[in-house]
Amino acid sequence: MSDVTDAAFRRIVVKYSGKFTCPKPGGGRPDVMWTEFVPCDGLCSKGRKAFMLDLSYTEKERPIVVQLFGATPEHFYRSAIMMQKLGFDGIDINMGCPEKKVLKQGAGAALIKNPKLAQEIIRETKRGAGKLPVSVKTRIGDTKNEIKKWLPYLLESEPSAVTIHARTRKGMSDVPADWDVVAEAVRIARKYDSSSDRTLIIGNGDVKSLSETRERAKETGVDGVMIGRGIFGNPWLFSPLNKNSPERGRGIPSTQERLHVAIEHAKLFEKLFHKKKNFDVMKKHLKAYISGFDGARELRTACMNAKSGKDVELAIKNSGILYY
């Protein structure tokens, strides 16, 4: 997600998602992490260095998949070769972004209306990716549900996985996710290919807890569930002791813990991206951390004026809500 799943965000998730005891080996953290999406056109230009910051990651974030967007097959091929050299664990092609500036390029969700180009992009990405798995993230259609028509084009190109964001391009994130269509996508994919190495179907949209991921997987038969906005302000989400999960128990993150991590996140963002990214990017995260407790509204307002991690820390300290 652009300006969301950056290095600071991912490092905080890695650190805190496994903070509480997890009964399953390797549990307590997401199975796979994605980068922000990066433009292939930019990576193939003289200004490619400007995008390398978005491609930085640590070994603790593995397995990590890089997400690319664009509309030029040749640029996907060249970018995929670069991603091999950078050591990513997979490449994901964004065919679902509804932002106007992306659509104007013929990229993102615009590719739903251009399935032949979409197929060529997948083929060229696979050609450049070598042994790296190549996946696609898309939506159920442009202005209406077109999954029966759209998904077979993707399956024909044999990506490793297709993540279905359960809304149309027109629906943005303003309407409820339609998981019935995700279930339909699963049926289409299984009918197309029932072998063990078939394209995996991953569902996405409005999932806010581990218990919901289990429910959605059981209801639809998806091979996996992707969580986006549900983890904002809650890097503990993948811990089985999260307050929204069935294993609810001791160790639930308190308001104090959330505020301490909000400060830590803000300072880490500033450390990694000082003079490289606008600090306003942090505000969507701060809004999520600072909610659901007395005085949250006033504190959020104060933090919206912050220009640095230190400003966030002072605002939280001055609120009188946080104690050390």
What are the extents of the domains in the chain? 31-226, 255-318
Distances (CA, A) of 197 to 120, 177, 192, 218: 21, 28, 12, 21
Supply the pLDDT for residue 240: 60
Query: Cα(52)–Cα(43) distance, rounded to whole angstroms?
Result: 8
Does the annotation mark 97 as catalytic?
Answer: yes
Query: Cα(227)–Cα(122) distance, rounded to whole angstroms?
Result: 24
Give me the sheet containing 200-204, strands edge to edge. 33-39, 64-69, 90-95, 134-141, 161-168, 200-204, 224-226
Residue 215 host element (H or E): helix 210-220
Nearest CA-CA partner of 66 in 41, 32, 102, 17: 32
Supply the pLDDT for residue 251: 45
CATH says 31-226 is which class?
alpha beta
Nearest CA-CA partner of 8 in 31, 29, 27, 36: 36
Of 22, 40, 44, 97, which residue is the catalytic one? 97
Q: Exposed, middle or buried, 243 (CB in 10 Å: 0-12/13-18/19+)?
A: middle
Query: Cα(186)–Cα(225) distance, rounded to whole angstroms?
Result: 12
3-state secondary structure of 65: strand
Task: Please give the model's pTM, rounded to 2 decimal places.
Answer: 0.91
pLDDT in tens for each of the 324 residues of the chain? 677 889 999 999 999 886 544 444 345 678 999 999 999 999 999 999 989 989 999 999 999 999 999 999 999 999 999 999 999 999 999 999 999 999 999 999 999 999 999 999 999 999 999 999 999 999 999 999 999 999 999 999 999 999 999 999 999 988 999 999 999 999 999 999 999 899 999 999 999 888 899 999 999 999 999 998 888 888 988 876 545 544 443 345 789 989 999 999 999 999 999 989 999 999 999 999 999 899 999 999 999 999 999 999 999 999 988 766
